Amino acid sequence: MKLILFGPPGAGKGTQAKKISSHYSIPHLSTGQIFRHNIKNQTELGKKVKSILDAGELVPDETVVDLVVDELQNDKYSNGYILDGFPRTIPQAVALDKYLDSQDDGIDLFMTLSVPQEELINRILSREEGRSDDTPEKIKTRLGVYFEETEPVLNYYKKQDIVEEINGMGTIDEIFRRIKTVLDKI
Ligand code: ADP
């Protein structure tokens, strides 16, 4: 099962991706997590992207695409995966499709979590991870970037007819049950 988990910052992608990953035994690839890990370990990549993440802006497409394509070569992804936080722009979606086409492969499902904007802000502000981009000012920037650059990705996949919309309101388990109902059909 090859799955894209999509939605605005604070929609609960990371939380649900972890649950999907353990329930269906498929790896979870989070670009945000990879960047944060690299920043923490002060790698070359980490140094390159730190100020971008701190500002709530997007890492350049080429950097993200190279990273994901490289990562997907790993054998652990051969039976499926959950992409979380990628693709986040139309050029990233096009590059992913191009790569998958070259492998005679494709995405099975694009799942989008819908959550009203006020709830997104509340959730991010009450997160306990202490992320440097979780301040009110940065959240505003990230949501702006989401509506401008990321939301169009949804329409791109709608044309491929693989989109399922999930109501992202409710408890973590309620949302996960909705997700399972959809995934158990594929
Ligand atoms: P959230 O969606 O909650 O903001 P993420 O962990 O998915 O959190 O991403 C955190 C940050 O990492 C983003 O604000 C951005 O700077 C960077 N990032 C993650 N994925 C991408 C991507 N696909 N393209 C560009 N930047 C990205």
CB-ligand 1 contact for 52 (6 Å cutoff): yes
Handedness of CA 45, 50, 56, 60 (dihedral sign): negative
Query: Of all protein residues, whose CA lies closest to atom 1 belonging to ligand 1?
Result: 9
Lookup result for tokens 């989401």 = 146
From the CB of residue 95, how many other CB atoms can be counted at a distance below 10 Å? 19
Q: What is the pLDDT of residue 186?
A: 86
Please check the confidence at residue 128 and state whether its pLDDT lies above 90.
Answer: no
CB-ligand 1 contact for 32 (6 Å cutoff): yes
C-alpha 32 – ligand 1 centre gap (Å): 5
Threshold 0.85, pTM exceeds: yes
CB-ligand 1 contact for 85 (6 Å cutoff): yes
Confidence of residue 129 (pLDDT cuts 50, 70, 90): confident
C-alpha 88 – ligand 1 centre gap (Å): 8
CB-ligand 1 contact for 20 (6 Å cutoff): no
From the CB of residue 68, how many other CB atoms can be counted at a distance below 10 Å? 20
Q: What is the pLDDT of residue 100?
A: 97
Residue 97: phi and psi, rounded to 5, are -60, -40
Q: Which whole-number Å values give the CA distances from 109 to 1, 81, 101, 135, 182, in the listed order?
A: 8, 11, 16, 32, 10
CB-ligand 1 contact for 6 (6 Å cutoff): no
Nearest-atom index, ligand 1, CA of 124: 3
Please check the confidence at residue 130 and state whether its pLDDT lies above 90.
Answer: no
Lowest mean pLDDT among 88-92, 108-112, 124-128, 160-164: 124-128
3-state secondary structure 60-98: CHHHHHHHHHHHHCCHHHCCCEEEECCCCCHHHHHHHHH
Residue 6: phi and psi, rounded to 5, are -125, 155
Q: Which residue has the higher pLDDT, 17 or 129?
A: 17
**Among 37, 88, 146, residue to substitute to test ligand 1 (most atoms within 8 Å of Cβ):** 88
Which element (helix H / strand E) includes 173? helix 172-183
Q: Which whole-number Å values give the CA distances from 132 to 19, 69, 127, in the listed order?
A: 25, 27, 11
What crossing angle do the helices spanning 172-183 and 13-24 adopt, rounded to 10°?
A: 50
Give the tokens for residue 89: 């722009």
**Among 15, 30, 53, 134, residue to substitute to test ligand 1 (most atoms within 8 Å of Cβ):** 53
